[in-house]
Amino acid sequence: MRLDYIVRRLVLFVIVVWAAATLNFFLPRLSGKDPIRDKLIQQAAAGGYVHTGIQQMVEEYEQKFGLDRPLWVQYLTYLGDVARLDFGYSIANYPRTVMGIMADSIPWTVGLLLTTTLLAFVIGSILGALLAWPRSPRFVQYLFPPLLTLSAIPYFLLGLCLIYLFAFRLKLFPLFGGYTPGTFPALTLNFALDVLKHSILPALSILLASLGFWALGMRGMMVTVEGEDYMTFAEAAGLKSSTLFFTYAIRNALLPQTTSLGLALGHVLSGALLVEVIFSYPGIGTTLYHAIRQFDYFLIQGIVFTIVLGVTLATLVLDLIYPLLDPRITYQRA
């Protein structure tokens, strides 16, 4: 039974990754455009070269990149490359590989996302629990409508408002970037503080906009848990209110809440990519933005595939952890 679940989950993972790779391969080819020819002609036009040699150059490159072989051979080669996480070279910054460019920006995104998602999860869940708890202070109830409203707003719009208010008007935080231009990334205290200062506003915009989601889910779970018999029993046994709240109510309401973590991941990530663009934060979203502006095809493909891989992998890990976290889940065959 357990093994069955794990196998099914792994199969889904492989299918999703394969589907992403296949989309990545076929979508651009459906449009009938030729990125290499486009790029060469564009460069030739920019440099004012004579256009005579272009046809030969295109053929030369197509041979080099294997674009003259039959489609299915290209497809298999592509799948093989992707399996080794080899996405080729960036067209716009030629000698650099796609993998190298991504390796620079991924740590920024992962750092920002990991902290904000965890913080939003913890704070949102506690708020949600307090909202449903009859003995919590009165002011908590007033927090709910604004939180809900914030959760309906896209992250990056909140980001725009925060930049204007806190960075431009009040000058409390830097306007853009991940660190002060001119400094070099190094493992020093000063640099770490600089990074922290730059990441507060982007983090805040993700945090504020996603708190409501967690609070809403937790509130629903708490209401269900409060109606359970064991809560009435524990209360009748004369347990302290805080024991009731933390060990009886929260502990049981929190577990289903972790399920939403996996579901929310893709959504949070899409939002965070755009927040990065708004803040020019040096993460993968900004890299994607520049890749789109320069029409750097291989880089766009590499980023899309890597993010899909990351999200799917994280979902897989979460799905495999739930049964360990929550003994009530057995995952029987439906």
Partner 1 sequence: MLRYMRRNRSLVVGLCLLLLVLLFAGLGRLLWDTSLAAPLSAPPNRPPSWEHPLGTDRQGRDLLAVMIVGTPLTLYIGLLAGFIGVAIGTVLALTSAYYGGVVDSVIRGLVDVGLTIPTLLVLILLAVSVRSSLSVSQMALVVASLSWLWPTRTIRSQVLSIKERAYIQVARLSGASNRQIIFFEIMPNLLPYLAATFVGAVGAAILASIGLEVIGLGPIEANTLGMTIYWVTYYAALLHGMWWWFMPPVVIIIMVFVGLFAISAGLDELANPRTRRGV
Query: In the complex, which residues of this chain contact partner 1 (CB under 8 A)?
Result: 12, 15-16, 19-20, 23-24, 27-28, 30-31, 33, 148-149, 151-154, 156-157, 160-161, 163-164, 167-168, 175-176, 266-267, 269-270, 273-274, 277-278, 288-289, 292-293, 295, 297, 300-301, 304, 307-308, 311-312, 315
Q: For partner 1, give the closer residue by CB, 9 or 197.
A: 9
Q: For partner 1, give the closer residue by CB, 244 or 273.
A: 273
φ, ψ of residue 147 to 5 degrees: the values are -60, -45
Q: For partner 1, give the closer residue by CB, 23 or 231.
A: 23
The angle formed by the CA atoms of residues 50, 52 and 58, to the nearest 5 degrees, is 110
Q: For partner 1, give the closer residue by CB, 217 or 245.
A: 217
Of the candidates 183, 251, 194, which has an alpha carbon nearest to the alpha carbon of residue 222? 251
- Residue written as tokens 């060469």? 40
Q: For partner 1, give the closer residue by CB, 151 or 239.
A: 151
Start-to-end CA span in the chain (Å): 11
Distance, in Å, from the CA atom of 256 to the CA atom of 156, rounded to the nearest integer, reads 28
CB of 271 to partner 1, least distance (A): 8
List of residues 6+ apart from 254 with CB closer than 8 A: 125, 218, 221
HSE-up of 110 (CA within 13 Å, CB side)? 11
Of the candidates 314, 311, 327, which has an alpha carbon nearest to the alpha carbon of residue 255? 327
Q: What is the DSSP letter of 247?
A: I
Region of residue 329 (left: phi > 0; alpha: psi -120 to 50; beta: else): beta
User: 193 pairs with which residues across the strands?
Assistant: none
Distance, in Å, from the CA atom of 249 to the CA atom of 182, rounded to the nearest integer, reads 51
CB of 189 to partner 1, least distance (A): 29
Q: For partner 1, give the closer residue by CB, 92 or 234.
A: 92
Name the residue type at position 178: G
CB of 31 to partner 1, least distance (A): 4
Cβ atoms of 331 and 5 within 8 Å: the answer is yes
CB of 84 to partner 1, least distance (A): 21
Q: For partner 1, give the closer residue by CB, 47 or 182.
A: 182
Q: For partner 1, give the closer residue by CB, 169 or 189.
A: 169
CB of 193 to partner 1, least distance (A): 23
CB of 287 to partner 1, least distance (A): 11
Q: Specify the 3-state DSSP secondary structure of 97.
A: strand
CB of 15 to partner 1, least distance (A): 6
Of the candidates 116, 128, 142, which has an alpha carbon nearest to the alpha carbon of residue 253? 128
CB of 113 to partner 1, least distance (A): 12
